[in-house]
Each structure stands twice: as structure tokens, then as C-alpha cells.
Amino acid sequence: MILLLWKVVSRNVVILFIQMKEVHCVVLQTPEREASISSDEWSTATVKRLKEASPLALKLALKSIREGRYQTLDQCLIREYRMTLRSITKQVSGDFSEGVRARLVAKDLNPKWNPPRLDLVSEDMVESYFAPFGGSEPELELPTKLREAFI
């Protein structure tokens, strides 16, 4: 079952909360359907931007939003640190670098995403961005003991 709450907080921010067992092309199909029904220029532009984004980044963002709803600030910061470090070091995909190349360096606005479609992004790829580093990189250590008197 798909539950989509698509709420426009402002003309610049969209929050997508999608509850389902599998995330494939549904990530874009439902907002696209909504945009076509409403004929709202802003909604259409937003769907267009989602289609231009890295398929891997879309799934990472969705998973991060889902997990973050139930985590503390410290847990969210650690999750974001892992995702960021893995993105910039190209451990799974070079999409971050490719996006920078396409938008800022070559300015051709034609990124070559790897993988190129949502249905080609494996669950293993997504999960690897959230996994602890093991020994390859140091984990983010937050000054919790300095901040929290009761820990």
C-alpha cells in the first residue's frame, strides 16, 4: 500500500513521505500524476527537477527521511555523516562528482547517472550508504558527554 502525503510547506519546499514495501518508479509516478491533475506550474517544475536528479540520490533521500523520523539528532548527524562521506569518496557511485561536473564544471546539465534509472538502484547500494564504517573510516564522534549531564 502506498501512502503519499505531498505537502507544500512553501513554494520552495516539498516534503515527500512514502510508506511502502518497495520503492521503484512509484517515487516519481505519484507526484507526476498529482502535478498533471492540478496543472500547477510549480508542481510540474518540481516533478521535472525530481526526474533530473540522481536515481540513487532520490532513494537515499527517501530512506534518510524515513529513518530520521525515528532517530535522535545525534543519530541523524551520524547517518548524514556516513552518507556524505560515502558520496564524496565514490565508494558506491560517482553520482555526486558527476552532478558537480554536469552542473558546475562542464555546465552541460547532462549528468550520466550510475545507475541511470530508479529500478536499477539495488537495495544493497542504498544500504551501503547507511552502514557503519567498520575500520575503513572513523565514525563521527559527537561531544554528547559535554552536552548531556545525565549520560
Residue-number span of the structural domain to which 105 is assigned: 55-140
Residue 91 DSSP symbol: S
Residue 145 in any domain: the answer is no
With a cut of 50, say whether residue 12 has pLDDT above it.
no
With a cut of 50, say whether residue 65 has pLDDT above it.
yes
Residue 121 in any domain: the answer is yes
Residue 21 in any domain: the answer is no
Task: Tell me which residue has cell 491533475.
Answer: 37
CB 82 within 8 A of CB 133: yes
DSSP string, 1-70: --EEEEEEEETTEEEEEEE-S--STHHHHHHHHHHHHH--HHHHHHHHHHHHS-HHHHHHHHHHHHHHTT
Residue 149 in any domain: the answer is no
pLDDT band at 32 (very low <50, low <70, confident <90, very high): low
pLDDT band at 144 (very low <50, low <70, confident <90, very high): confident
Predicted TM-score (pTM) of the model is 0.74
Tell me what percent of the residues of the chain surpass a pLDDT of 90.
44
Mean pLDDT of 83-98: 92
Please count the structural domains in the chain: 1
Residue 2 in any domain: the answer is no
Residue 28 in any domain: the answer is no
Residue 4 in any domain: the answer is no
**Angle formed by the axes of helices 41-52 and 26-38, nearest 10°:** 160
pLDDT band at 131 (very low <50, low <70, confident <90, very high): very high
pLDDT band at 56 (very low <50, low <70, confident <90, very high): very high
Residue 104 in any domain: the answer is yes
